[in-house]
Amino acid sequence: MSNYIKVFTGNFIEVQRIFNELQNLNICAIIKDESESGRLAGFGASIQGLQEIHVHKEELDKAAETVKNLSSELQS
């Protein structure tokens, strides 16, 4: 079982904004881009252009609150 949990899925701009804010809070986040991984391996992905942010499960609570706040901000 992975120690990393998905906290957000969105386009490149949204993901970069949230990822940078998590980094500023010293939260170790990783970006997963299935379409890019598939392209490099010679396969396609079902949804193009979406990326995921994953954080370590020990940082989930802090990260989830930040993602929630930023998601609301990005939606408005």
Query: In sequence order, what are the residues at sequence separation of 6 or more whose Cβ sits closer than 8 angstroms to the Cβ of residue 13?
Result: none
| pLDDT score, position 52 | 94
Summarised one tens digit per residue, pLDDT across range 23-50 is 999 999 999 987 654 555 555 555 567 8
Count structural domains, the chain: 1
Write the DSSP string, 36-49: HHHHHHT---SSTT
Q: What does the pLDDT average to over 41-65?
A: 80
Would the pLDDT of 67 be above 80? yes
Residue-level pLDDT at 75? 74
Residue 57 sits in a domain of what CATH number? 3.30.70
Question: Domain of 15?
Answer: 4-75
pTM for the full predicted model: 0.78
SS3 assignment, position 56: strand
